[in-house]
């Protein structure tokens, strides 16, 4: 094989795209006026309409959500890198990797849906406030409540690590426990619609701060873990060659 | 041995544990799906398509907590659908057909969850979220949710056709031939349901005898059949207990 | 038939047993459609009778005869295949398919004349059932072409020629035939 | 022509004849015939049942199949026809 281009090199390029993507996500988070502080679900239709009509907010909503539209789905590259590592694990079937792959399209598709609803709400803010509120509700429920795929992903990865029974496993054991912990932290957000106030509401402690905090932490920790693993893989392939 | 010990033993020693976990996940998901959609949210059997605004608002009010909690559960467990798609895709890798069949199945069914289930759940959750919303908008949500739920056809139609073709072509008889034919019945239901986009009452409406009841019965029979057959496939699978083939190569 | 149990050992399932399960399930599903049709017919009897006037009895009878003849042809084909006359069998299956094509062409003519007269799928309940039942049946004719195609593929090469598969294809085609017989009676002729 | 071929031809002739009979039933009463008519309905449905049974027995060769299959087929056909006729007559009575 050609020494200069190993298969894993492509993965390393994809891996180093991640900090750039993460940077855009941070920008989106702070640019979107609905996140800092999170919009309250108790706002009336007129207040929601006024929020979108506010000349301070409107351009920030539009540009942040256009950015989100561009780069949000970029997470799939990272998730696919994890799939590649899962395929290296000592499993008898590829089924866990298939599960992870299935989830890695489902989750981002729902984020994308939320992004579209936000953009639609901002497209003609002068329309009937009831309609603006409807789009706003749809966006927040899709964004906050749709945690099923993320939770399942963490559990599938944890399972894969537990079942990876070899002398030098691909990921260390603690990554599995960490993923289960993150899954537990994200899970309550599924019940976001139960209340308009309190910790479960979409601006609440559990649904917004804990969930998004857990996802950010997951991203940071998994980046380090996956990065280390890919570089170790490269060294192994070099010595094997 | 207690149940807990048995489960622990299987996790440690059963070579088919990956498959069994996926099978049980699928099994539990369908139970949960039935409980949430039939008992908690009252989405199945569906309410009437000809109701006026006031009656629709009343339906949302009657089922307020059922909808919110029920779909909360669905949001939480939606990811399990991935495990059953993976199991079925895996079943196709065991057949004497090209891998392309399992990849098509995986791709189509990863997509199907969104229009077939989650979009309805999101819409109805938003509908139940604010009882004081304009009744005209609530009625729009209601229509969008039920037409989307009952009227999602293509993904299941193509997905079932691919599975059917794989089963009929398979020489290893992973699934019996009759199951291949049963797939034809299931994909025909996706055609039969189409008139629900045209009629607001009668046998072809979204709650009609033909478009809903007959189709749902066929789907239930089909689902029970493939859950049972997948179990049989896993039971027959023979991995042995030795080291994994790849690992031997690596060593 | 009198000493049926004694003969039971000599009896065999024609075709694959799997195709019979399929025929059973299809028969049950279609029965549910027929019963639904009858229910609505009883509830809205005058409407159904008035709308029925506009159907062409001649088309219906012609369709039935075409399908009966096609069934006869495919039954002969199976017989020929059993007697190792594979070329003859192939020709007979081709003729069966020609009958199927004829059936579909006559159906398209019938539908387009109805649409010209202003009777569409959503015109009234009777015509919904008319287009639904005939439509789903034509779909089965199309699926039948696939089955017959498999039969021809089997007949072509000496390496294949599995009698079981050939019989199964024929059984599906006969099912399409007998479903039409009931549809003809319910839609066109009954009062 | 073998015995089986003759038998098939006879069956086809019978079925076509019966079809023409029900076609005649549907046409014989002129254009004002589209009124409820239990006689026509009953005979047409029974003729259809007969045709189905003949197709299944002769063409699909159920006559040589195990008895259990025959019984299931007969039971299914009989219950469908019975249900259709019951519905029809209960509708007329109401």
User: Residues of B numbered 122-181 whose beta carbons fall under 8 angstroms of chain A's beta carbons: which are they?
Assistant: 122-123, 125-126, 128-130, 133-134, 137, 141
pLDDT: which is higher, C4 or A38: A38
Q: pLDDT band for position A84 (50/70/90)?
A: very high
Lowest-confidence region among A32-41, A134-143, D16-25:
D16-25
Using CB atoms, pick whichever of A105, A152, A194 lies closest to residue B80: A152
pLDDT tens-place string over residues B20-37:
999 999 999 999 999 999
% of chain B beyond a pLDDT of 70: 95
Measured distance CA(C134)–CA(C131) in Å, rounded:
5
Sign of CA dihedral A52, A56, A58, A60: negative
Tokens 């899962």 locate to: A86
Which pLDDT score is estimated for A45? 94
Question: Chain C contacts of B204, Cβ < 8 Å?
Answer: 128, 132
Lowest-confidence region among A147-161, A198-212, B11-25, B182-196:
B11-25
Which pLDDT score is estimated for A3? 53
pLDDT tens-place string over residues A45-64:
999 999 999 999 999 999 99
Helix (H, G, I), strand (E, B) or coil at B200: coil
Lowest-confidence region among B29-38, B82-91, D10-19:
D10-19
Using CB atoms, pick whichever of B178, B180, B185 lies closest to residue C29: B185
CA–CA distances in Å: residue A210 to residues A25, A177, C140:
17, 18, 55
Question: Chain B contacts of A138, Cβ < 8 Å?
Answer: 122-123, 126
pLDDT tens-place string over residues B121-176:
999 999 999 999 999 999 999 999 999 999 999 999 999 999 999 999 998 889 99
- CATH code assigned at C150: 1.20.120.80
Question: Chain B contacts of A159, Cβ < 8 Å?
Answer: 18, 21
Query: Is residue D32 pLDDT above 70, yes or no?
Result: no
Which pLDDT score is estimated for B241? 56
Q: Give Rg (Cα) of chain D.
A: 16
Measured distance CA(B59)–CA(B72) in Å, rounded:
19
Which pLDDT score is estimated for D29? 60
Measured distance CA(D60)–CA(B186) in Å, rounded:
24
Tokens 């008992």 locate to: B39
**In degrees rounded to 5, what are phi and psi of residue B51?**
-65, 150
Helices (H) and strands (E) in chain D, counts: 3, 0
Are residues C93 and C155 in contact, defined by beta-carbon separation less than 8 angstroms? yes
Residues 6+ apart with CB under 8 A from A223: A18, A19, A22, A78
Tell me, yes or no, if B82 comes closer than 8 A to chain A by beta carbon: yes
Query: Is residue B39 pLDDT above 80, yes or no?
Result: yes
Tokens 């506009």 locate to: C54
Helices (H) and strands (E) in chain C, counts: 7, 0
Q: Give me the interface pTM, i.e. the ipTM.
A: 0.89
Query: Is residue D33 pLDDT above 60, yes or no?
Result: no
C118 is a domain residue: yes
Please answer yes or no on whether A103 and B82 come within 8 Å at the CB atom: yes
Are residues B251 and B30 in contact, defined by beta-carbon separation less than 8 angstroms? no
Are residues C65 and D13 in contact, defined by beta-carbon separation less than 8 angstroms? no
Question: Chain B contacts of C13, Cβ < 8 Å?
Answer: none
Please answer yes or no on whether C22 and B185 come within 8 Å at the CB atom: yes
In this prediction, residues B216-231 reach a mean pLDDT of 95
Which pLDDT score is estimated for C3? 44
Tokens 């590829």 locate to: A94
Please answer yes or no on whether C50 and D34 come within 8 Å at the CB atom: yes
Q: How far separated are the first and last CA of chain A, in Å rounded? A: 9
Are residues A122 and A62 in contact, defined by beta-carbon separation less than 8 angstroms? yes
- With touching defined as 3+ CB pairs under 8 A, do chains D and C touch? yes
- Give alpha helix (H) positions in chain B: 3-13, 17-34, 53-62, 64-77, 80-93, 100-113, 119-129, 135-150, 154-169, 177-192, 215-236, 245-250
CA–CA distances in Å: residue B80 to residues A77, A99, B20, D58, D94:
22, 9, 14, 50, 51
User: Residues of B numbered 190-249 whose beta carbons fall under 8 angstroms of chain A's beta carbons: which are they?
Assistant: 239, 244, 246-247
In this prediction, residues A8-36 reach a mean pLDDT of 92
Using CB atoms, pick whichever of B69, B75, B247 lies closest to residue A166: B247
Residues 6+ apart with CB under 8 A from A108: A72, A73, A75, A76
pLDDT tens-place string over residues B106-134:
999 988 889 889 999 999 999 999 999 99
Which pLDDT score is estimated for B38? 92
Q: What is the mean pLDDT of chain A?
A: 92
pLDDT tens-place string over residues D68-88:
999 999 999 999 999 999 999
Using CB atoms, pick whichever of A92, A102, A191 lies closest to residue B82: A102
Query: Is residue A148 pLDDT above 90, yes or no?
Result: yes
Q: Where are the domains of chain A?
A: 3-240
Using CB atoms, pick whichever of C39, C121, C125 lies closest to residue B198: C121
Q: In chain B, which residue's Cα lies nearest the Cα of A201? A: B129
Closest Cα in chain D, distance from residue C79 (Å): 8
Are residues B179 and B167 in contact, defined by beta-carbon separation less than 8 angstroms? yes
Using CB atoms, pick whichever of C17, C40, C121 lies closest to residue B203: C40
Measured distance CA(A5)–CA(A25) in Å, rounded:
31
Note if the bond before A37 is cis, omega within 30 degrees. Answer: yes
Query: Is residue B199 pLDDT above 90, yes or no?
Result: yes
pLDDT tens-place string over residues A3-12:
555 778 888 9
Total number of domains constituting chain C: 1
Closest Cα in chain B, distance from residue A129 (Å): 10
Which pLDDT score is estimated for C7? 53
Kindly report each contact of residues C106-109 with a partner whose C-beta sits within 8 Å and lies 24 or more positions away, as own/partner.
C106/C59, C106/C62, C106/C63, C106/C66, C107/C63, C107/C134, C107/C138, C109/C59
% of chain A beyond a pLDDT of 90: 83
Which pLDDT score is estimated for B248? 43
Question: Chain C contacts of B210, Cβ < 8 Å?
Answer: 32-33, 36, 132
Please answer yes or no on whether D23 and C175 come within 8 Å at the CB atom: no
pLDDT tens-place string over residues A104-123:
988 888 999 999 999 999 99
pLDDT, averaged per 10 consecutive residues of chain C (191 residues), comes to 50 89 96 96 90 87 93 93 91 95 94 93 93 96 95 88 91 95 92 82
Q: In chain D, which residue's Cα lies nearest the Cα of C5? A: D67
Tokens 């041995």 locate to: B1
Which pLDDT score is estimated for A125? 93
Which pLDDT score is estimated for A67? 94
Which pLDDT score is estimated for A159? 94
Which pLDDT score is estimated for A16? 93
C6 is a domain residue: no
Tell me, yes or no, if B111 comes closer than 8 A to chain A by beta carbon: yes
Question: Chain C contacts of D35, Cβ < 8 Å?
Answer: 49, 191
Expressed as residue numbers, the domain containing C113 is 16-189
Angle at D85 between CA D81 and CA D89, to 5 degrees: 175
Question: Chain C contacts of B198, Cβ < 8 Å?
Answer: 121-122
């Amino acid at each position: 094989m050609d020494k200069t281009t190993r298969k894993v090199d492509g993965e390393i390029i994809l891996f180093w795209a991640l900090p750039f993507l993460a940077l855009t996500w941070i920008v989106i988070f702070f640019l979107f006026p609905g996140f800092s502080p999170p919009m309250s679900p108790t706002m009336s239709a007129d207040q929601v309409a006024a929020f979108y009509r506010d000349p301070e907010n409107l351009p920030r909503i539009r540009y942040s959500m256009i950015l989100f539209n561009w780069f949000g789905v970029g997470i799939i590259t990272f998730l696919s890198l994890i799939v590649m590592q899962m395929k290296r694990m000592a499993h008898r079937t590829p089924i866990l990797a298939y599960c992870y792959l299935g989830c890695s399209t489902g989750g981002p598709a729902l984020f994308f849906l939320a992004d579209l609803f936000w953009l639609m709400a901002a497209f003609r803010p002068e329309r009937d406030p009831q309609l603006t509120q409807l789009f706003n509700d749809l966006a927040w429920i899709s964004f906050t409540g749709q945690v099923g795929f993320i939770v399942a992903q963490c559990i599938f990865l944890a399972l894969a690590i537990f079942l990876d029974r070899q002398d030098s496993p691909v990921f260390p054991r603690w990554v599995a426990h960490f993923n289960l912990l993150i899954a537990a932290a994200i899970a309550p957000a599924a019940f976001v619609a139960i209340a308009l106030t309190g910790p479960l509401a979409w601006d609440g402690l559990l649904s917004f701060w804990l969930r998004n905090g857990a996802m950010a932490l997951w991203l940071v920790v998994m980046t380090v873990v996956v990065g280390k693993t890919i570089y170790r893989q490269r060294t192994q392939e070099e010595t094997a060659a | 041995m207690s149940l807990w010990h048995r489960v622990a033993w299987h996790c440690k020693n059963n070579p088919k544990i990956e498959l069994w976990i996926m099978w049980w996940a699928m099994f539990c998901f369908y139970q949960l799906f039935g409980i949430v959609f039939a008992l908690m949210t009252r989405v199945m059997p569906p309410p009437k398509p000809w109701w006026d605004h006031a009656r629709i608002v009343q339906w949302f009010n009657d089922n307020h907590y059922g909808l919110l909690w029920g779909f909360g559960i669905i949001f939480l467990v939606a990811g399990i659908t991935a495990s059953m798609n993976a199991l079925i895709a895996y079943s196709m890798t065991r057949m004497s057909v090209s891998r392309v069949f399992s990849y098509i199945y995986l791709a189509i069914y990863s997509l199907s969850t969104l229009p077939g289930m989650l979009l309805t759940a999101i819409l109805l959750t938003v509908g139940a979220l604010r009882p004081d919303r304009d009744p005209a908008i609530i009625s729009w949500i209601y229509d969008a949710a039920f037409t989307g739920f009952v009227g999602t056809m293509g993904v299941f139609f193509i997905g079932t056709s691919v599975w059917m073709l794989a089963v009929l072509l398979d020489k290893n008889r992973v699934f019996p031939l009759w199951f291949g034919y049963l797939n034809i019945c299931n994909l025909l239901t996706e055609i039969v349901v189409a008139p629900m986009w045209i009629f607001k009452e009668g046998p072809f409406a979204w709650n009609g005898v033909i478009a809903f009841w007959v189709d749902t019965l066929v789907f239930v029979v089909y689902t029970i059949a493939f859950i049972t057959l997948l179990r049989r496939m896993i039971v027959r699978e023979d991995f042995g207990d030795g080291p994994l083939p790849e690992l031997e190569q690596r060593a | 038939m009198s000493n049926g149990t004694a003969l039971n050992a000599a009896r065999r399932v024609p075709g694959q047993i799997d195709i019979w399960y399929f025929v059973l399930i299809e028969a049950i599903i279609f029965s549910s459609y027929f019963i639904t049709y009858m229910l609505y017919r009883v509830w809205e009897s005058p409407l159904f009778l008035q709308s029925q006037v506009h159907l062409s009895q001649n088309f219906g009878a012609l369709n039935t005869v075409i399908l009966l003849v096609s069934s006869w042809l495919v039954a002969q084909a199976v017989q020929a295949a059993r007697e190792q006359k594979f070329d003859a069998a192939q020709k007979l299956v081709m003729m069966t398919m020609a009958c199927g094509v004829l059936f579909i062409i006559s159906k398209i003519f019938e539908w387009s004349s109805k649409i010209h007269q202003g009777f569409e799928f959503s015109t009234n309940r009777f015509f919904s059932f008319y287009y639904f039942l005939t439509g789903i049946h034509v779909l089965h004719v199309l699926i039948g072409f696939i089955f017959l195609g498999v039969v021809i593929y089997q007949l072509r090469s000496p390496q294949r020629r599995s009698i079981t598969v050939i019989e199964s294809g024929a059984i599906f085609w006969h099912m399409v035939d007998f479903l039409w017989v009931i549809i003809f009676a319910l839609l066109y002729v009954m009062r | 022509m073998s015995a089986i071929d003759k038998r098939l031809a006879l069956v086809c002739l019978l079925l076509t004849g019966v079809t023409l009979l029900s076609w005649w039933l549907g046409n014989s009463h002129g254009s004002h015939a589209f009124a409820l008519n239990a006689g026509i309905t009953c005979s047409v449905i029974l003729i259809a049942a007969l045709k189905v049974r003949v197709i299944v027995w002769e063409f699909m060769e159920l006559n040589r199949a195990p008895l259990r299959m025959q019984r299931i087929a007969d039971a299914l056909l009989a219950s469908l026809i019975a249900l259709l006729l019951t519905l029809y007559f209960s509708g007329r009575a109401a």
